[in-house]
Structure 1
Amino acid sequence: MIFNSFEFIFLFLPTVFVVYFILNKINFTLSKAWLLAASLFFYGWWNPIYLPLLLFSLIVNFIIGTTLGKMEAGRKKKALLTAGILFNVGLLGYFKYYDFFISNVNAAFNTDFNVLNLILPLAISFYTFQKIPYLVDSYHGETRGYNFLNYGLFVSFFPQLIAGPIVQHNDVMAQFLNKENRKINYRNIAAGLFIFGIGLFKKVGIADTFAEWANKGYSTNGELNFIDSWVTALSYTFQLYFDFSGYSDMAIGAALLFNIVLPINFNSPYKALNIQDFWRRWHMTLSSFLTRYIYIPLGGNRVGPGRTYINIAIVFFISGIWHGAGWTFIIWGVMHGAASVINRYWSRAGFKMPKLLAWFITFQFVNAAWVFFRAPSVDAAVNVLKGMVGLNGFSLPSGFQNTVLSSLNLPYYNFTIAESFQWVAIALLIGFIISVFAKNSIQLRDQLKPNIISALYIAILLIYSVFQLQQVSEFLYFNF
């Protein structure tokens, strides 16, 4: 089930909400069981075949975590933790990377090993990154007292199950156990609906429009010229931000209805003044996970400049391959690793540059790196980048005109190609202004004053968005 669907908005979410708070007045264990069952139903709605794997992983990790919490420190405890981590990494690796590995072996050594064409289980990347920290915290004795119901709810709580934010057990479990959170909180309902509405509009009103232009460009077989390449690259840059931040907003909003505050995942990343600042703002829960469970254990910045740079490169290599089994993702991760090393060296040397120039360089680097992240192949990415620097010419292809007009749902009035491009330029400018200059959704939520104006504002966004639900589209991070 997806957030931007009639089933979720008008059936699933209201039903789960009403029954949950009714059961809270009867028996809290029943209400948690209801929420866990509803979350598993939410997960299985998309494709029930994935559900047994999720349950199997839940049970195995709970058994290992519980055992770790009871063991005394020693080699056996470390061995069990290692086995638990390898179990999770192995499960993710088999489904996500087996075919990629075999395909590259066949290409490199001219072999003919069978490719299994495995279907990636929904959300496996996200729930794997929740279970590993749970095992590590269990090893340190920080998860005692959890039963399977609490653990299952922590991992599978439906707002954040599919695409984050990636939560740690201490982010949410204390909230579920808080007696005050068992009561309906009208302030949280107002804030939850407010940010959910903003997230829904980001997805169906903004991201899906940019998606048509990005998809057009990345599916083109021929060369892309200067203008078309920039439209393609910028369209995806804004599509990805509004799509993923929109999902995170909707997740945070839906959770607030149940009085659960999920961690912030985006903080205006396109306002960043350097690449380190960008990663403090983009997919913040992933950055936190990589820092806490990979960068710091490797030694972080406590091991001298040379080792620090290697640690940074390793973290971003892992980030790249976590996002997808493909060389484009690896290149994207390596690019961000290299940029982060340069930024760290620049800072250590005490160099500075004007803020506007720093922002411009950061944004353009992120935009160029997204080309590899989105492109179906390295050749396709190179084609777009060549066009962006003018190596493929400067004229606007005539076929682009109809794509623009159809995506904007405008009547066809024999617009010229130049007039069609104006619509693109206006849309890109609006996306740029919102993402770089406007307050983000979390700031708006925190400043929310429930009144007629805010009610009308969110009602307009919701009404418009609901009318767009006939064109159902997946969230981008469902693919990762």
Structure 2
Amino acid sequence: MLFNSYEFIFVFLPIVFFVYFYLNSKRLTVGAKGFLVFASLFFYSWWNVVYLPLILSSMLFNYVIGNSLAFDNKRGINKGFSKNTILTFGIVCNLALLGYFKYADFFILNLNLVTDIQVEPLNLLLPLAISFFTFQQIAYLVDSYRDETKEYDFLNYALFVTFFPQLIAGPIVHHKEMMPQFASKWNLVKNYRNIALGLFIFSLGLFKKVVIADTFAEWATNGFDRAVTLNLVEAWATSLSYTFQLYFDFSGYTDMAIGIALLFNIKLPINFNSPYKALDIQDFWRRWHITLSRFLRDYIYIPLGGNRKGNFRTYVNLMATFVIGGLWHGAGWTFVFWGFLHGVALCIHRVWQSIGFRLPKVIAWFITFNFVNIAWIFFRAKEWDDAVKVLSSMFSLDNVNFYTYKISSLLVSINGNDKTLGLSVFAFILVLYFNNSMYYYNNNFDKNRKSSLLTSFLLSYAVIEVHRVSVFLYFNF
């Protein structure tokens, strides 16, 4: 089930909201939690019920491992096994599950390329959200190992993993961020300010997705997947279209997740903070997909040694972290190369900082944004040839005639007019000069007539466009 679908907006969400708070009003707190878990699993199963046993088995396994890590090594099920052994076992099993479904065919195809062995691909369908709920549960195991988290109630743990606003594509949350909120008695009753703010942020996210991102998606698809050749202007239009599509698609999803969670009085962590305003690549990763950046830092970069073992080791750790981050996004060498590019950029930035050089803000922004834009080409391209087609055309003057309407032919084939070009300018203005949704999330929202009218406009306009339902990009990762 998609957030941007009529059945979710007008059926699923209202029913879950009213039943959850009705059960709480009758002091049936356990029943309300159980209903929310059931609703979340129903939400997950709507996509493909075949994979419901997979997420249930994963939850049960990690619940048992997490509890075993919380006990003293000298007692209970830990007897004879060290905490290091149990944690390693838990992480390996989680990664094996993820590896089997996400990377088995990638491994087979590459094995076939370098050897004479010809193994048939498994052609596995990637289970929805497996990357997100796997990383979230690995973080839970590590937190349990560090005695930062204890959970002895399976219902609570199931709610932590399956809470439907963040189940499919994050944010990646910690147990200690979520469960105290569900336990708070103040969160068991309807909060009308949270409802108003939640509806506003949800409407903003829905507008981002169905009005802005999906419009850019048509142009990006035309340039990457349909066009045989591109001229310079068309290539830049294609790359910028995907750069904006990805931003408004994923930040739109995150806004919707945050808004829906607020309806239930739950505050999810901030996941985006105007990343295209970044003045350097480190700043970009502090703003883009913040919970994933946090995970990579806390559970990969720091355990590898972080910056504690000298400059060379720091650069190796940065490269390893971002190559892994690239591979997490997808089983393909283009994703690995995208991660490699960001790793190199961060190493260069670190050297630049150590020398003490500073660039004027406008130049720093220009370099950062264009690097991110160019790197996204490899993230988007289905094949190396697609990336080369777009990238080479971005720096070629062949077939460019600024006095013709060649660029218009690309636009007309999509929308019948040149509105997409205007939307690109509009997108730049939005991401660079306007407050983002988190400005309102952080206590800058007033529940008044103006905000009500804006919410109504955004929601109404977006709902009209929901008929062209499209899957969120991060569902693929």
> Is 2:436 the partner of 1:440?
yes
Following superposition, the deviation at residue 111 of structure 1 comes to: 2.3
| Deviation per residue, 1:170-197 (Å, 9 max, x gap) | 1111100111110110010010000000
Q: Quote the Cα distance in structure 1 between the aligned partners of 2:84 and 2:308.
A: 24
Equivalences for 1:420-435 in 2 at 5 Å? 420=417, 422-435=418-431
Tell me if structure 2 keeps the 8 A contact 1:209–1:407. Answer: no
Q: Quote the Cα distance in structure 2 between the aligned partners of 1:247 and 1:270.
A: 17
Q: Which range moves more in the overlay, 203-212 or 18-27? A: 18-27
Q: Quote the Cα distance in structure 1 between the aligned partners of 2:426 and 2:94.
A: 42
Tell me if structure 2 keeps the 8 A contact 1:65–1:135. Answer: yes
| Deviation per residue, 1:254-303 (Å, 9 max, x gap) | 00000000000000000000000000000000000111111111111111
> Which residue in the other structure is 2:292 paired with?
286
Tell me if structure 2 keeps the 8 A contact 1:224–1:392. Answer: no
> Is 2:144 the partner of 1:138?
yes
TM-score normalised to the size of structure 2?
0.95
> Which residue in the other structure is 2:211 paired with?
205
> Which residue in the other structure is 2:447 paired with?
450
Q: Which range moves more in the overlay, 283-292 or 137-146? A: 137-146
> Which residue in the other structure is 1:373 paired with?
379
Q: Which range moves more in the overlay, 135-144 or 287-296? A: 135-144
Which residue of the other structure, out of 333, 349, 358, is the alignment partner of 1:352? 358
| Deviation per residue, 1:16-48 (Å, 9 max, x gap) | 000001111221100000000000000000111
Give the residue type in structure 1 aligned to 2:457.
I
> Which residue in the other structure is 2:40 paired with?
39
Tell me if structure 1 keeps the 8 A contact 2:231–2:399. Answer: yes
Tell me if structure 2 keeps the 8 A contact 1:33–1:149. Answer: yes
Q: Quote the Cα distance in structure 1 between the aligned partners of 2:12 and 2:67.
A: 32
Following superposition, the deviation at residue 406 of structure 1 comes to: 6.2
Q: Which range moves more in the overlay, 392-401 or 172-181? A: 392-401
Tell me if structure 1 keeps the 8 A contact 2:274–2:431. Answer: yes
Following superposition, the deviation at residue 143 of structure 1 comes to: 2.5
Q: Quote the Cα distance in structure 1 between the aligned partners of 2:459 and 2:412.
A: 24
Which residue of the other structure, out of 135, 143, 157, is the alignment partner of 1:129? 135
Q: Which range moves more in the overlay, 133-142 or 353-362? A: 133-142
Which residue of the other structure, out of 208, 228, 232, is the alignment partner of 2:234? 228
Give the residue type in structure 2 aligned to 1:386.
S
Q: Quote the Cα distance in structure 2 between the aligned partners of 1:273 and 1:424.
A: 27
The alignment's C-alpha RMSD in Å is 1.6
Which residue of the other structure, out of 274, 277, 280, is the alignment partner of 1:271? 277
Tell me if structure 2 keeps the 8 A contact 1:225–1:395. Answer: no
Following superposition, the deviation at residue 425 of structure 1 comes to: 2.4
| Deviation per residue, 1:57-102 (Å, 9 max, x gap) | 0111111111111132885221111010001101001100000111
| SS of residue in 1 equivalent to 2:226 | coil
| SS of residue in 2 equivalent to 1:208 | helix
Q: Quote the Cα distance in structure 2 between the aligned partners of 1:196 and 1:405.
A: 32
| SS of residue in 1 equivalent to 2:345 | helix
Tell me if structure 2 keeps the 8 A contact 1:126–1:164. Answer: yes
Q: Quote the Cα distance in structure 2 between the aligned partners of 1:206 and 1:221.
A: 22
> Which residue in the other structure is 2:318 paired with?
312
Task: Label 1:34 to 1:436 Cα distance change in 2 as closer, same or farther (>3 A).
Answer: same
Q: Which portions of structure 1, spanning 4 or more consecutive aligned residues, are displaced by more than 3 angstroms?
A: 395-403, 405-408
Give the residue type in structure 2 aligned to 1:334.
F
Following superposition, the deviation at residue 395 of structure 1 comes to: 4.4
Tell me if structure 2 keeps the 8 A contact 1:224–1:383. Answer: yes
> Which residue in the other structure is 1:3 paired with?
3
Q: Quote the Cα distance in structure 2 between the aligned partners of 1:380 and 1:324.
A: 16
Equivalences for 1:39-118 in 2 at 5 Å? 39-72=40-73, 76-118=82-124
Following superposition, the deviation at residue 407 of structure 1 comes to: 4.3
> Is 2:325 the partner of 1:328?
no
> Is 2:16 the partner of 1:16?
yes
| SS of residue in 2 equivalent to 1:42 | helix
Give the residue type in structure 2 aligned to 1:443.
Y
Following superposition, the deviation at residue 424 of structure 1 comes to: 3.1
Give the residue type in structure 1 aligned to 2:299.
Y
> Which residue in the other structure is 1:245 paired with?
251
| SS of residue in 2 equivalent to 1:195 | helix
Following superposition, the deviation at residue 210 of structure 1 comes to: 0.2
Q: Quote the Cα distance in structure 1 between the aligned partners of 2:151 and 2:86.
A: 19
TM-score normalised to the size of structure 1?
0.95
> Which residue in the other structure is 1:162 paired with?
168
Following superposition, the deviation at residue 221 of structure 1 comes to: 5.2
Give the residue type in structure 2 aligned to 1:440.
N
**Which ranges of structure 2 fall in alignment gaps of 5 or more residues?**
75-79
Task: Label 1:49 to 1:401 Cα distance change in 2 as closer, same or farther (>3 A).
Answer: farther
Task: Label 1:460 to 1:275 Cα distance change in 2 as closer, same or farther (>3 A).
Answer: same
Tell me if structure 2 keeps the 8 A contact 1:198–1:458. Answer: yes
Give the residue type in structure 2 aligned to 1:157.
F
Following superposition, the deviation at residue 477 of structure 1 comes to: 0.3
Following superposition, the deviation at residue 146 of structure 1 comes to: 3.1
